[in-house]
Amino acid sequence: MTPRKLCLVIPDSDVIIELHKLGYWQSIVSSYDIKIAETVFGEARFYENSSGRMLPTDLPTNKVNHDIEVFDLDAIDLSALEHECRRMKAPEIDDGERESIAAVITEKFPDCRVCLIDRAAITCTVMVGRGGQCISVENLLKSIGIATSLPEKLTDRRFQRIHREATEQRIYNM
């Protein structure tokens, strides 16, 4: 019996693109049960490599091979997140992030980790009470045995700083 993969929601095309640029996307796909919102899937079809050339991502092949699950939510699922965001005065986030975080708070993917880069998305996720499910790109890579130097925006140090600030803001807003 093969062990069950851990679940990972990727709410932002930036995460997918950065993992492709670093050359670690397939390692993540092999190690995690990946969930991607339809909006994010559409946004992350191409990325610009280090020489400025546009390249296709592996997403279409991953979808055909059932390596990733692409999901869509309806207005009812999104309304729970929107209500909680208003109540907690959370920052505005992009559509793909909204769909993905809504999937987590509505228990569509209750045991999933959520890999985030964007400050507003990290803050929003913490403020709606799901900060414990968040993971930085650096810690995501470490979870599969990859320790490498990363740009500041992908580091756990930056992620934890934003997480701490959002936690303080959540407490203040309650």
What's the half-sphere exposure (Cβ side, CA atoms, 13 Å) at 124? Answer: 27
pTM over 0.85: yes
Task: Name the residue among 75, 115, 83, 120 with its Cα closest to residue 99.
Answer: 75
Please give the Cα distance from 25 to 105 (Å, whole number).
25
Q: How many Cβ atoms from other residues are within 10 Å of residue 122's Cβ?
A: 26
Query: Cβ of 99: how many Cβ atoms within 10 Å?
Result: 23
- Residue 35: φ, ψ to 5°: -120, 130
- Check residue 172 and give its pLDDT: 83
Size of the chain in residues: 174
Res 74 pLDDT > 70: yes
Tens of pLDDT along 123-155?
999 999 999 999 999 999 999 999 999 999 999
Domains of the chain by start residue, with CATH: 6-173 (3.40.50.1010)
Q: What is the pLDDT of residues 6-39, one digit of tens each?
A: 999 999 999 999 999 999 999 999 999 999 999 9
Rounded-to-integer distance, Cα 20 and Cα 93, Å: 23
pLDDT of residue 2: 57
